[in-house]
Every structure is written in C-alpha cells, then in structure tokens.
C-alpha cells in the first residue's frame, strides 16, 4: 500500500486510467482502495468515468460509504459505493476493489456459466468465481447495488474469493493491493475472453489443475511480474498522454511497486511529454 | 433541449462525432435533433459523414424534410431525411433521432431475431424492438428510406418504441433529448453485441424481467449517469482532437446535461488543447 | 478518372493509404489504376506496403506488366503485377484493381462458401462472386499469381464480375474508377464480416433479392455517396497524419470525386496540419 | 544477422516493439537473438515488457542462461530465460526466439487442436506445430519454463520445427534471423486466428498441401517480402512514436534486411519526427 495519502490518491488515479486504457472499463464502473493508514476508510473518485479521474477527484469514505467530510457543493459520489464499503468491511485482507461491465464477462453474467482458469494468467480468477443474483434476495430491481443490504449481500456472495460475477450486470474484483487489483481486473477478463473462444472452438475445456492454479497465482503475484506489469501500464498511459496530472513531489516508496519498479520508470517517455 | 440554436447546433455536432468516435457509425448514417424552440423543425447536417460534421454544416428542415431556406449552391442534404422528419411528425415526444448500420445490429437486421435486454445497460433497447421490412409495402427497393411514404411506414413500425431494426439495412434510434439519444445509440449496440456473444456461448438467453428492464431504463436516464456519460464522451473527443470547432461563447445551460455536468468539464483537457 | 498523371498518382497514393488505414490491407496487398490518358498502361507502386506509398513510388507499366521505363537501380516492383495487367487487358471497363488478404475474406477463400449480399452496402459484391483455385490449372504452387498465364486464368475466373475470391489466398477487386474501387474494397469486406456473424448467429441467411441488389449497387455508386465516402476516408487520413505528401498544385478536377466533393474538403483539417 | 553488437541490440529493440505494436505480445512475453559474432551467447532484454525495451536494456547471456557479466544492482532478468538458451543450444540453425501468450494461440494451447496452414502466409507455421505439455514430465507446476530441464524438454518438443504450442500457456517461435522471426511470430498468429474463424464458419478446413506449404514458406522468406515487411513494421513504429531511441551512427548492413530494405527507409517519416 502507498505510505501516504497523496501518493495513494495519485496511484488510484493511475489505476482508474489503466483499467480504462486497457479496455476493461468504459463510461461506467469504478475503482477504489482502502485508505493507506486508516483501515476504516476507503478512497474513491467522485462520480466520473475512470478514464478521466484525477487525484483531486478522490474523496475519503467511511466503511458505511459516507463521505468523511461532506462533498463540495455540486459534487456527487457514485451510486454504487456500498459495493466497495461492504467488501472492505467484510474482508480485512482486501485493500482494493474494482467494479465493471466488461463485454467478455457479460455472457457469463447472463448465462451463469462458471469461469475456470484456462492458462497461467487466468489463474488470477482464484479458486472459484461465485455468482450473485440480485433476484435471489431482492426480486426485481434496477440491477444496481445501491442499498447497504445489497452491498452486504454481494460481499457475502464474494465470500473468501477474489471475483464475483453479478447476474445480468457485471463483475466485482478484489485485491490485496492496488497493483494486484489492476492485474486481476485485466487478466480475469482475458481468461473470460479465452473461455468464450475455447467454447467457440468446440472442444472440451482443459482447465488448470487446482495445484497449477495455486502455483500460477502465486507466481503472478511475485514482485517482478507485478512491477513489470505496472511499468508497462503506466508507460502506456504516459505515451498516450493519459497519465494523471500532479504526481506527488516526493518519490513513491509504494511497496506495491518496489524499488526496482521505480528504477524502471522510462526517462525517455517523461522527456517526450 | 439546448436553449438556443447556436448551442443546439454545437451539441448536435458533438453528438455526431461521439457516435462516430465510439465506433457506432462509419462513413454513412446520420443524427438529428428537433429545433430547440420551433418543434415543427429539425436540425441535421448536410450530407457529410458524422465524424466530420461541424456546427456550420447543420441546417433547418421542416417536418416534411424540406430545407427551411434553400441550401447554398452545391450543398446537398442526406438522401434519407424522411426517416427523421416522419418520426418527429409521428412522435411529439421524440426530440432526437439517429440512423446507422452498425455491424452488431446487422445480423439481427438480416435474420429477424428479436433483441432482448441482457444486462442493465441493455435495458435502453426499450420494452420491445420492432422490425421494419421495406419489402412488406414497397417490394424490391434499394433498401434506403427515400420517399415520404417510406418514412411514414418506418415511423409507423417504430410505433411507441425507441428503436426499430430495418431488415437488411440497419437501425433507427429515438430519444427524448440528445444525450439520451447518444446513450441509447451506444448501449443498444452493446446489448446487440452481447446477444451475439451469448448465442455463441450456447446457453439460453436470460433477459431482464419487464420490471427490471423498466427500473434499469429509468435509472440509466437519471441526470447523474447521463451527465457522467456525456462528460466521458466529450472528453474523449477533446483528447483525440475530434471535438467540433466553435463552441458558442455563452456557456450551455442545456437541460440535457445540467449544472453538475458543466462543473465536471475537465479544465486540464481544455488547457492541453 | 483523374485527368492528369500527377493527380492520378496522388489519388492512387491516397487510395493505397485509405485501404490500409481502414484495416483492409496490412503489409501485403496492392492497389493500381489504369493510366488516366493511356488506356494501355497502368499505374502501381513499387514493392512497398500500401500504408507507406507516396505518389513518387508509383510507376507506369504496360498491360503485359513490364515497366514503361526501366525501374531505377535497386527499385523492385511487386511480384504479382500480372493480377493487375491481365485484368486491365481482359476488362476494358475496369480502371482500378486491388488485391488483398483481409481476415474476413479468408474463411470464404478457405472453405469455398459463396458470398451473398446481406445488406444494402453489401450489394457491392456484385451479382456473383466467383472463385479461382490455383490448383485447378497449376497444381501445387506457392499460391501467388506470378506468371502471365496465372494472371490470365484469374482474369478469366473474374469474368464479367467485380470481385474474385482466390482459394487459400485472398481476394481481387475491380472498379470502374478509383473511388468505386476503394468503396467496393471496403464494403465487400464488411459484407463478408457480416456473413460470418450471421452464420455464427445460427439462422438461415436472408440475402437481398437480385432486384434489391441491383438497385442498392446503383444507389451506392451515385455521386453523392461516393463523394461523401471519399471525403470521410481522406479526412481520416489527414487527421491521422497519414495523408500522402505532395498534392499537385493545381486542384483536382477528378471526375471520380466531382465538384461537390471538392467543395467539401475540410478547411479546418487542412489548417490543423 | 546484424554484423555488430550495437546494431544487433538496436534491431532487437525494434523487434520487441514491433511484436508489441502489431498486437502479438502484451505486458508479458520476450524476444531474443543469438549474439551476432559469438554463437555461444544470446541477447535479451532485462525483465521489461517488449513494448518499452530499449537497446540499452539488452544484456548478453551464455547458452546456460547466465549473464555474461553480472547484471547491475537492482536489474533483473526474465524468469523464463531457459526457453531461449536451451533452444539456441539444441538448434544451431536458430538465431532468434520469441515467446508469447497471444489470445489467438491460447484456444489451441488449451484444447490441443493442431494448427494447419490455411493460406499462403500461414505456411509460416512450418511443416508441423508440435505441442509441449508441462504435465507430461513435470506434473503440477506454475506453468512457466523456469528450470533448465524444463527448457530442455521444451526444446526437445520443438524438435526440428519452428513453432511449439505450450498447453495452457502460450507459444514459442524460432527463426533463422530476426526479421524471419518477427514475420513468423505475426503470421502464425494470423493463421491461428483464421483457423478459429474457419471453425466458426462451420466447414471442413482446407489446408495447403505439403507442396504448397513448402513453396509458400520459401516465397515468404525471400528478400523482397522480408524487406517490405520490415519497412512496414518499422515505419509504423516511427509514425506512432514507438521507435526505440539511439540507432547506431553507422548505417546497418544487416543481412536480414539487405541493401534494398535500407534504400526503402522512409525519409519523410524520419523528418516528421
């Protein structure tokens, strides 16, 4: 986790933009992180599309999804804040959450077909991907997760896992830290895309064994691949002119990226901007 | 609706470019809006691809699809103007119309398979998506909607709904205002794409219930999601250098976007241009 | 046809870049046009990918596919020139030819499934799309059309039509002029893409009737849609910085685009460059 | 092969970026080449995504995949170096290797369905595409090729061929030189994509005959198409601002591209930068 609030907000703005730039989230969807030093709070943007979020858009919320200080006049929060708050409450090991409606998830959300890990990167779906169906407890709704009890129900469906698919709606992903969350958000979608392609190819699926899935999960989350992925994503943002404004003066000591990652920041790209 | 003509033409140019930039419309297709203060007129570009439309390309037409003043020498209007005029005539509640041939609609246009709402955003297809087949009344044609009677027939097929699929041709979308129209134009295509993916996955479709569809429709059209989507689309245009030239001096008071939306305009992006 | 050689070479460079930018042709494939005033010659780039062709890369060939003047030292022509030369020889009504391996054509090239017109723009495939199989006359080859007799065989397979699919290789498209050729090259690929999608949807195909196909073909080739498409493609090239260098000083009087098209050239875009 | 080390590193940086820019490799995957003058060494980037590799990131390794001089403090090599080292050891005719997880390969990696050449460019898959399954010799692993014995096993599975698909993981491609490698890396993925499309179309596959495949393979690897492809890829990098920094002062005499290729370098694009 980032060790100070300014860095955390900057990192969260990057994470918002990465999942947009890499094609996971469009106008809707949102990404949050637990407060770096106050575990009973979380950070999330005001109601804006992740692609345009800046550090200055990010506000603090209690785990009951109330703003810590009232939002400025005219500023609105996301409607589905309870997705985030209720998961942080139920899962002390979760420090970052993303919710989205990626097209490759939606056929699974519609049909209820179970996601299985089909290649080493797909092991990031975790041991099991549970479903949540708003109809089970709430009957006809607008599908969104707006009430605290809806958020609690979703968090319960997530259970000890790291991804929950929401019937006829989308998916919610959890991570131990922000880099892991972004990594999982991207590669769980890739695995879903692959499962659709495998089905179309017409053969039986050949998933990883539980042992393979566990070992591949561990390997993906080691510092080297995590740092490499973060460098890749953030460099792509910079090249595209999509990097958020206003990085904190003091260099990050973010454990999520580590020293090696810092050294890898591309001077050339910075200069080009 | 925009409260003055200059703002309306500017907004309509934006809408044209958004549906192009978001990949819904290519060289062909067109987008119109009802005149903001004269409900017996509508505004639409001269014959140009939506991607390159400027406010200055936009002319006024009567609901019989005659230009209010003769077009300048050498300037031509679209061939299918009656799509717009006849819908505005038949549907006083419709204030914006788009017509396109998006690839994800065309398999439905070809086969006649009915579109159903498969996720909350897909509720924007409305209660029902009727079909119109030019063969039924007109036999062999070039498929285009060129004659007033063809436009009237299409408007009749649309009936009280918000999207009509035209066999072997494309789709026509209606909205209460321009933001809603763009929103519906994008998310009805996403729902069609999803329905194709669900079919390929090989399970039975699991559509929203009528109650869910109605509530999700209402939710999507509330000011916050509408403003958020408009900010997302217009920011993307700006970043890509695709924003139309010549915004009116006086700031918009467009009800379609509202005050909150205005406040959300990204100062940083404007500065970058 | 363009009325002078400099304009013709400039237009041909644009056509090369349009079919690349619109995603039809990658590193391989080529586009040619008949000489504007000498019908026994044709113009085509030296061996370069269409995306990077400049007017200065374009050389004159006889219909036997010999360069009219020897190519400069170190400059090589395409290997498959006879595709172009033999079609110009056999078809005096053809004034532009493109050859490519677009991914949406290749399943048809592999399987031999017939292309049929599935929407109004798809009418550009013409009355019938014949196949050519190099195995029929030549047995095992490297698949390319390199020898005059191979070119003649392909031209014979094309017969009076406007598109021929080459088994396990790609497609060759013909046009009465360059704009029509680019139009047909793009929309025949779109129709192939649609046919693949329709098959995947699992319903019987519902093609245009012969009468509809003929009327839609005629409509698409009228001056207004042709000018509109050319403006769209060339503006997109300009915005992307892909427009070829060195437009001739004297403004084009190209019949292919006509006066209206000229008037529609976007001043703003030009200024932006 | 490039005739000096500086040119080799520059060319390898280009190759890394081409396979990224053309959409074959994302954050993970790697590309190497044999040392131009010391055949018992190979060159490969430190652990970075291919898209961001610079010549200065490239280090020398022995064929046992040990760095020739210790890596600078804080610099890490890729985890799967033995893929490269063991193939160079087993195959003196191989001078360049790429490893990736492209989405179009993964359904074949999952199902074990054999790749066959379906068009002339697809002949680059070679006579046969063997599979390697980490389970056969090593049981449950994290799927990666990390130990020398795993690398040797993979190299043995590759045998005399040029592409090996790794079950539930990805593919490894070999080439006689760097241009051939990039060419094969791109067009083997295209053939896989085509095979998926052909399957979806629902007809029996119609592969090239062995004679056609051999002749098409030979033709594709002739200097003219190889030079043309290299010019296309490197020009696209330049236009996109993705070309690696610091080309060596002395012009390349790379046999891989040859004199003609050099002459074809686009002066205009260089000037635009």
Interface partners of B (3+ CB pairs, < 8 Å)?
Answer: A, C
Q: Among all chains, which residue has been given the structure tokens 């190889």? A: D226
What pLDDT is stored for residue B273 in this prediction? 20
Nearest to B158 by CA among B149, B171, B142: B171
Q: Compute the distance between CA of residue B154 and CA of residue B149 in angstroms, rounded to an integer.
A: 9
- Chain A residues near residue B224 by CB distance under 8 angstroms: 47, 76, 79
B118, B200, B236 ranked by CB distance to A196: nearest:
B200
Chain A: nearest CA to B80, how far in angstroms?
A: 31
Q: Are D168 and A206 in contact (CB < 8 Å)? A: yes
Q: Are C167 and C101 in contact (CB under 8 A)?
A: no
Average of pLDDT values for C4-22?
A: 97
pLDDT tens for residues C63-83?
999 999 999 999 999 999 999
Q: Are A107 and A169 in contact (CB under 8 A)?
A: no
Residue C143 CA to its chain's centroid (Å):
20
Q: Compute the distance between CA of residue A122 and CA of residue D169 in angstroms, rounded to an integer.
A: 10
Instruction: Give the β-pairing of D131-132 and D163-166.
Output: parallel
Token couple for C4: 């002078």
A197, A209, A232 ranked by CB distance to D107: nearest:
A197
Task: Please state, for a pLDDT cut of 70, what percent of chain C lies above it.
Answer: 90
What pLDDT is stored for residue D35 in this prediction? 98
Q: CB neighbours of D137 closer than 8 A, spacing ≥ 6?
A: D149, D153
- Chain D residues near residue A194 by CB distance under 8 angstroms: 103, 106-107, 110
Among chain B residues, CA nearest to A242 = B239
Q: Are B197 and A54 in contact (CB < 8 Å)? A: no
HSE value, Cβ hemisphere, 13 Å, CA-based, for C172: 33
pLDDT tens for residues B127-180?
999 999 999 999 999 999 999 999 999 999 999 999 999 999 999 999 999 999
- The D-side interface with A (CB below 8 A) comprises 26-28, 47-49, 51-52, 54, 74-76, 79, 101, 103, 106-113, 140-144, 167-170, 196, 199-200, 241-242, 245
Taking CA atoms, C228 is separated from A258, B60, B147, C32, in Å, by 54, 20, 21, 22
Chain C: nearest CA to B205, how far in angstroms?
A: 13
Chain B: nearest CA to C116, how far in angstroms?
A: 12
A26, A142, A199 ranked by CB distance to B218: nearest:
A142
Token couple for B239: 């970043």
- The B-side interface with C (CB below 8 A) comprises 26-28, 47-49, 51-52, 54, 74-76, 79, 101, 103, 106-113, 140-144, 167-170, 196, 199-200, 241-242, 245
Q: How many residues does this entry show for chain D?
A: 273
What pTM did the predictor assign? 0.91
Q: Compute the distance between CA of residue C55 and CA of residue C157 in angstroms, rounded to an integer.
A: 31
Q: Are B111 and C263 in contact (CB < 8 Å)? A: no
Mutate to test the interface with A, among D27, D54, D200 (most CBs of A within 10 A): D27
Chain D: nearest CA to A215, how far in angstroms?
A: 5
pLDDT tens for residues D130-157?
999 999 999 999 999 999 999 999 999 9
Grouping H, G, I as helix, E, B as strand and the rest as coil, residue D174 is strand
Q: Are B144 and C120 in contact (CB < 8 Å)? A: yes
Known active-site residue D149? no
Among chain D residues, CA nearest to A200 = D200
Grouping H, G, I as helix, E, B as strand and the rest as coil, residue B180 is helix
Q: Is the pLDDT of residue D65 over 80?
A: yes
A54, A66, A80, A127: the catalytic one is A80
Chain C: nearest CA to B180, how far in angstroms?
A: 26
pLDDT tens for residues C167-180?
999 999 999 999 99
ipTM: 0.90
D76, D106, D143 ranked by CB distance to A212: nearest:
D143
Cα Dmax for chain B: 57
Sheet holding C58-62, edge to edge: C58-62, C41-45, C30-34, C96-100, C170-175, C163-166, C131-132
Taking CA atoms, C261 is separated from B80, B86, C10, C87, C179, in Å, by 19, 29, 16, 29, 12
Run of H or E including C116 = none
Q: Among all chains, which residue has been given the structure tokens 């192939």? A: C192
Q: Among all chains, which residue has been given the structure tokens 């050949």? A: A206
Q: Are A74 and B211 in contact (CB < 8 Å)? A: no
Query: For residue B33, what are the β-bridge partners?
Result: B43, B96
Q: Are B169 and C268 in contact (CB < 8 Å)? A: no
Among chain A residues, CA nearest to B119 = A168
Q: Compute the distance between CA of residue D85 and CA of residue D97 in angstroms, rounded to an integer.
A: 9
Q: Are C200 and D200 in contact (CB < 8 Å)? A: yes
Q: Is the pLDDT of residue C263 over 50?
A: no
Q: Compute the distance between CA of residue B125 and CA of residue B173 in angstroms, rounded to an integer.
A: 9
pLDDT tens for residues A78-125?
999 999 999 999 999 999 999 999 999 999 999 999 999 999 999 999
User: Ramachandran region of residue B75, left (φ > 0), alpha (ψ -120 to 50) or beta?
Assistant: beta
B51, B60, B66, B80: the catalytic one is B80
* pLDDT-based confidence at residue A261 (cuts at 50, 70, 90): very low
CA dihedral B216, B221, B227, B230 (to 10 degrees): 90
* pLDDT-based confidence at residue D250 (cuts at 50, 70, 90): low
Phi, psi of D62 (to 5 degrees): -75, 170
Mean pLDDT, chain B, integer:
91
Average of pLDDT values for D163-179?
A: 98
Q: Compute the distance between CA of residue D108 and CA of residue B172 in angstroms, rounded to an integer.
A: 40
Token couple for B118: 């498969």
Grouping H, G, I as helix, E, B as strand and the rest as coil, residue B10 is helix
Run of H or E including B135 = helix B134-138
What pLDDT is stored for residue C272 in this prediction? 23
C212, C218, C264 ranked by CB distance to B140: nearest:
C212
Cα Dmax for chain A: 57
Token couple for C231: 């403006």
Grouping H, G, I as helix, E, B as strand and the rest as coil, residue B104 is coil
Token couple for B95: 């204030």
In chain B, the DSSP E strands lie at 30-34, 41-45, 58-62, 96-100, 131-132, 163-166, 170-175
Q: How many residues does this entry show for chain A?
A: 273
Q: Compute the distance between CA of residue B216 and CA of residue B214 in angstroms, rounded to an integer.
A: 6
Mutate to test the interface with C, among B101, B107, B146, B244 (most CBs of C within 10 A): B107
Grouping H, G, I as helix, E, B as strand and the rest as coil, residue B45 is strand
Chain C: nearest CA to B159, how far in angstroms?
A: 24
Quote the Cα angle for A168-A173-A178, to 5°: 150
- Chain B residues near residue A199 by CB distance under 8 angstroms: 200-202
C194, C200, C268 ranked by CB distance to B103: nearest:
C194
């Amino acid at each position: 986790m980032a060790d100070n609030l300014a860095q955390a907000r900057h990192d969260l703005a990057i994470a918002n933009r990465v999942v947009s730039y890499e094609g996971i989230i469009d106008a809707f969807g949102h990404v949050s992180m637990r407060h770096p030093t106050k575990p009973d709070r979380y950070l999330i943007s005001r109601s804006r599309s992740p692609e345009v979020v800046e550090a200055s858009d990010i506000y603090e919320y209690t785990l009951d999804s109330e703003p810590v200080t009232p939002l400025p006049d005219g500023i609105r929060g996301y409607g589905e804040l309870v997705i985030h708050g209720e998961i942080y409450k139920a899962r002390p090991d979760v420090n970052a959450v993303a919710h989205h409606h990626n097209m490759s998830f939606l056929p699974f959300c519609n049909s209820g077909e179970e996601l299985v890990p089909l290649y080493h990167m797909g092991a990031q779906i975790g041991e099991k991907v549970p479903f949540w169906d708003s109809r089970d407890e709430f009957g006809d709704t607008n599908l969104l997760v707006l009430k605290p009890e809806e958020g609690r129900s979703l968090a319960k469906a997530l259970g000890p896992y790291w991804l929950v698919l929401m019937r006829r709606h989308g998916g919610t992903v959890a991570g131990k830290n922000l880099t892991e969350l972004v990594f999982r958000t991207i590669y769980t979608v890739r695995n879903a895309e692959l499962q659709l392609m495998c089905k179309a190819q017409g053969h039986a699926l050949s998933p990883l064994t539980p042992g393979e899935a566990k070992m591949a999960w561990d390997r993906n989350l080691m510092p080297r691949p995590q740092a490499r992925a973060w460098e890749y994503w953030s460099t792509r943002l910079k090249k595209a002119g999509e990097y958020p404004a206003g990085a904190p003066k003091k260099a990050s000591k973010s454990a999520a990226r580590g020293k090696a990652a810092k050294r890898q920041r591309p001077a050339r790209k910075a200069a080009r901007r």
